[in-house]
Amino acid sequence: MSNMFERFRNKWHQSIKGFVTILASEIAVPIDVQAHYAKTIQTHNAVSVGASGNSNSSYIDCDGFDKVAFTVLNDAATNSSVETHWSNDGINAHGAETLIVQSTSPNKVGISDIKARYVRVQLKNADTVAHTMSAWVYLKA
Amino acid sequence: MTFKNPPEVNGIMQLNEQQILAIQTELQQIEDAFVPTEEQPVCDIQYLTATYNKQNVGNEINGDTMIYCRAYGLEPEV
């Protein structure tokens, strides 16, 4: 009984006097961020985008991610651009923006903050013949 | 706006066996003739499909169909 009392008194004294024991394992050591979680999704697998046409991907769930990057391959150096469509339900588009403006570069890249729960990629072919295009998105947390 | 079908979007096109075998033969010819370059070091899906499509304007395929045609008739790996 006296042992219990001793322990309680010591504990009480420690808290009163501000004595705190910090073990090494309890210390939050500042460290560099070793890695970010990222996820790669191919939205277009070498699809044939018609002359002056476009091709939409399916909606991708961005929940838990901060940014999304895009890369696009065109089979030739012809005019094309990329739009992103943002949605809160994964069905209807509630916001659209031109992420990559029209250019003849066959390899395009862009990045955006997450603006809604779901996003889809629209590849736009501005040439007078069809082109084969691939696209990927990279979700970053 | 109507929904698009393959090859304008992902997915496998509806083809008969004759069409699949014709595509398969042409894909094999493209692969055999491939020479690696600095810009195109490997014969990947984009290259195979794009080269096939350039040779078959009006009868394009997409990457999913290309993979299906290449694997058509092959024994599944155990």
Tell me: the pLDDT tens digits for A31-69? 666 666 778 999 999 999 999 999 999 999 999 899 999
Query: Do residues A105 and A77 make contact, with C-beta atoms less than 8 angstroms apart?
Result: yes
- Determine the average pLDDT of the residues in A22-31: 63
**Residue stretches of chain B with pLDDT short of 50:** none
Tokens of B45: 């899906």
Cα gap B45→A119, rounded to integer Å = 25
Model ipTM value = 0.89
Among A46, A50, A53, whose Cβ lies nearest the Cβ of B50? A46
B46 and A46 within 8 Å at the Cβ level: the answer is yes
Cα gap B75→B78, rounded to integer Å = 9
Q: Is B63 on the interface with A (CB under 8 A)?
A: yes
First-residue to last-residue Cα distance in chain B: 44
Q: Confidence band (pLDDT; 50, 70, 90) for A81?
A: very high
Residues of chain A in contact with residue B62, where contact means CB-CB under 8 angstroms, are 45-48, 132
Closest CA to A127 of A73, A80, A74: A80
Hey, how many other C-beta atoms are within 10 angstroms of the C-beta on B68?
Answer: 18
- Determine the average pLDDT of the residues in A99-105: 93
Percent of chain A at pLDDT exceeding 70: 75
Strand order in the sheet with A107-113: A38-49, A131-140, A67-74, A107-113
pLDDT at A38: 78
Question: Beta partners for A107?
Answer: A73
pTM value?
0.79
Q: Is the pLDDT of residue A28 over 80?
A: no
Cα gap B16→B2, rounded to integer Å = 25
pLDDT at B2: 77
Q: Is the pLDDT of residue A74 over 90?
A: yes
Q: C-alpha distances in angstroms, A5 versus A8, A19, A93? A: 5, 18, 68
Query: Do residues A119 and A59 make contact, with C-beta atoms less than 8 angstroms apart?
Result: yes
Tokens of A36: 């970010």
Max distance between CA atoms of chain B, in angstroms, equals 44
Residue type, A15: S
Cα gap A50→B60, rounded to integer Å = 10
DSSP H/E element including B67: helix B63-71
CA distance B58 to chain A (A): 9
B63 and A50 within 8 Å at the Cβ level: the answer is no
Query: Do residues B65 and B48 make contact, with C-beta atoms less than 8 angstroms apart?
Result: no
